[in-house]
Each structure stands twice: as structure tokens, then as C-alpha cells.
Amino acid sequence: MNFLKSRNLVLCGAILAAGLVVGSDAQGQAQPERPRRVRQSEPSGFKQNPKVWAVFKDVVRDAGRSVVRIVTDGKDIALGTIVSIDGLIVTKNSELPPDKAPEVRLRDGRKLTAKLVGTDIKLDLALLKIEATDLPAIQFAESKTEVVGNMLAAPGLDEGPVAIGVVSVATRTVKPRELPAVTPPKDSGFLGVGLEEGEGGAKIMSVMPNSAAEKAGMKVNDIVTLIAETAIIDTETMINTIQHHKPGEVVPIKLKRGEAELELKVALGARPPEDPRLARRDFQNRMGSELSNRRGGFPSILQSDMVIKPTDCGGPIVDLDGKVIGLSIARAGRTESYVLPGELVKAAVAEMKNGKVAAGPEKTK
């Protein structure tokens, strides 16, 4: 068991005691319990054992004070993490609606409207501000000390964690398009281009005949830099941005064509039928839980086997010592949840706070 190598040996011992089923004989000596049939309604497996979850209450207690719930139209959309005592909160950007101010629910029951301060599109982060003071701000630690097998937990608004698991892949740099492709919403708009990374944006490598892109006059080697009010910094941000628009919607697109800068008005088309093989792959991935809409394109991640719901992304991730080693950013597959390293999140918050990262579309009007 790799997690026995964790620094917190006392806690690991408690977890083992909670996770193993033992009985006692007449002399008080611990003896293995006889095998018995497990009813279907009973939790089974290490991560489903309520005794194990109870052990983690102490682990997540401090970080949990900094967790908030992000809500729009009465629906939970993500968790958020308080990063300053005066009301700055970092959360998952792609879950925020483009035209509504999110509501933030604090652990003490307060409900406050948030204003968007800035976004980091590459990391899929948004920085929100609420009018509040003396809040418990999180402190991010380095993630690189966490090795494969170390145990992790995701605090929620309640006393216990919303997920527990282990590091399955240590923090690593991710090459473009290395992470799993995102299945686009069926009702999202369709441009009809092939892409690759370009200098300062997303480069058009092919244009489908009779597509929205061809009708608007887009050409091979054009570099897209802006769609609507969203800066396009790579292929991933372009794909995610287009997917937030509907068929028939006319979208302004700025691009570079050689030395010239152009702006085109593009009426998006309907998405073609999905490849059955991709649909089958996506169905299999979703068997563990629902997946995040945005789950790729991150420059660096730590991977865990925690089952984190998409609505619980945006919260802190702690190790057995309670150190916040990152932010949950995506539920990516049946056995995969991605964590943004704490060092990345800390730097991004500083830049968003100082206005060094474009805020993108105004989401609070």
C-alpha cells in the first residue's frame, strides 16, 4: 500500500483501522471476521466505507472553512475557494453562465452576489469578488511533493469530504491535446474547421466545404485571436468558446491573415451527427459519474482516482496533512479527476487580481 509511506502515519493507521473488518475472541484478541454476504444497500470497498470517510473529517476541517458553493438560478454549478480575507474567490470558469451574476453561498449560510474580477482561460479559472470581510483565506502549497499513492481529499461545505482517493499520476506538464477530447454539447454551434496551435491564437488547418467557416470567408492558415469577447490563446480555448454558442447564432470572429487583421461575422451551423464510436467511449467514461464539460487543455495537472462531481470542481484538494496542494478542476473519466497544482493556482490568482489576465466576457451584467 503506497499510502503507508505518507508523512502522516498516525492518520494512515486510523484509516486502516476504519477500513479493515475485524472481530474479537473471548480473550479480547482481534480476529478476522468470518466472511458474510454484503447486502446490495451496504457500502463496499475502501473509498465507500463510512468509517474511512469519518477519519477524513479532521483532514479537511481547516481547508473546508474556505469552501463556498457557486449557484445560478438556484442550481449548484461548482465549488469555490476563498483566496483573500476581503472576498476574493477562485472557481472553475467554464461552468459560469455568460450572462448572469453567480450567487455565492458561504458556510455560515450567507448568500451574496459575486462580481467577476478576471479569468485565466488556459487554466479554466475565474476570480470572483463578494462584499465580505474577515473570511478564512486558503493557502496553497506545492503539489510536487505528492507522489503516486499518496492519499487526497476534497473538502466540501459540510464537515466531511466530498471525495477521497489517491494520487494516480504525479504533477506533470501536459502537451497540447494530450488530455481526453471533450464531447461537445449536441445543441452547440458548429464552425467546421480543423485546428492546430498557432502563434498568438488557433491556426486554421482545414475548412469544411459548405460549412459556417467557408460561408463566412475563413481560410487555411488564418489565426483566430478573438471570438465574441473571449481571447483565443490556443485550440482548446477556441473549441470551448464555440461550444458555448448555439446554431444560427452570429458570432464576431477576429483573425490574422498574414499581416492583415480581419473581423468576420459567422453564422454558426448545426453540429453533424456524432460518431457512434465516440458516443460509446463517452458513455463508458460516464459510468463512474457525470463528466465535466471542460476537461482538457490544462498545461499542468495532478491526476487522482477521486470521484469528484462536476458541481464539486473548483474546491481545494488536501493531502493527509491538510495541506492544500491544488484545486479540483475537472472530472475527466471513469477513474480520473484532474487537480490544478497549487503553485499554478497561486500564480494565476495573483495575475487575475492585478489585472494581468483579460477578464473576457462580462458575466455579471
Are 221 and 237 within one domain? yes
User: Is residue 169 in a domain?
Assistant: yes
Are 162 and 196 within one domain? no
Between residues 289 and 153, the one the model is more confident about = 153
Are 85 and 216 within one domain? no
CA atoms within a 13 Å half-sphere pointing along the CA-CB vector of 146: 35
pLDDT, tens only, 206-265: 999 999 999 999 999 999 999 998 888 888 788 888 888 899 999 999 999 999 999 999
Alpha carbons 323 and 6: distance in angstroms, whole number: 13
Which H, E and C letters describe the chain, residue by residue?
Answer: CHHHHCCCHHHHHHHHHHHCCEEECCCCCEEECCCCCCCCCCCCCHHHCHHHHHHCHHHHHHHHCCEEEEEECCEEEEEEEECCCCCEEEEEHHHCCCCCCCEEECCCCCEEECEEEEEECCCCEEEEECCCCCCCCCCECCCCCCCCCCEEEEECCCCCEEEEEEEEEEEEECCCCCCCCCCCCCCCEECCEEEEEECCEEEEEEECCCCHHHHHCCCCCCEEEEECCEECCCHHHHHHHHCCCCCCCEEEEEEEECCEEEEEEEECEECCCCCHHHHHHHHHHCCCCCCCCCCCCCCEEEEECCCCCHHHCCCEEEECCCCEEEEEEEEEECCEEEEEEHHHHHHHHHHHHCCCCCCCCCCCC
User: Is residue 144 in a domain?
Assistant: no
**pLDDT at residue number 137:** 97
- Band of residue 203 on the pLDDT scale cut at 50, 70, 90: very high
Give the length of the chain. Answer: 365
Alpha carbons 276 and 274: distance in angstroms, whole number: 6
Nine-digit cell at 195? 485546428
User: Quick one: what percent of the chain has pLDDT higher than 70?
Assistant: 76
Torsions phi, psi for 171 (to 5 deg): -50, 130
Are 298 and 168 within one domain? yes
**pLDDT at residue number 182:** 58
Residues 251 and 237: beta-carbon distance below 8 Å: no
**pLDDT at residue number 171:** 94
User: Is residue 251 in a domain?
Assistant: yes
Nine-digit cell at 1? 500500500
- Count of the separate structural domains present in the chain: 4
Are 230 and 165 within one domain? no
Which residue range forms the structural domain that includes residue 246?
189-270
**pLDDT at residue number 100:** 85
Nine-digit cell at 266? 459567422
Nearest 5 degrees, angle CA 284-CA 286-CA 289?
140
Average pLDDT along the chain: 82
User: Is residue 247 in a domain?
Assistant: yes
User: Is residue 214 in a domain?
Assistant: yes
Are 70 and 204 within one domain? no
> Cβ neighbours of residue 169 under 8 Å, at least 6 residues apart?
148, 301, 302, 303
Are 18 and 87 within one domain? no
Residues 30 and 17: beta-carbon distance below 8 Å: no
User: Quick one: what percent of the chain has pLDDT higher than 90?
Assistant: 55
What CATH code is carried by the domain that includes residue 162?
2.40.10
Are 77 and 32 within one domain? no
**pLDDT at residue number 15:** 56
**Considering the entire predicted model, what is its pTM?**
0.71
Average pLDDT, integer, range 353-365 = 54
Nine-digit cell at 10? 498516525
Q: Which residues of 115-131 are buried (b: 16+ CB within 10 A; e: fewer)?
A: ebbbbbbbbbbbbbbbe
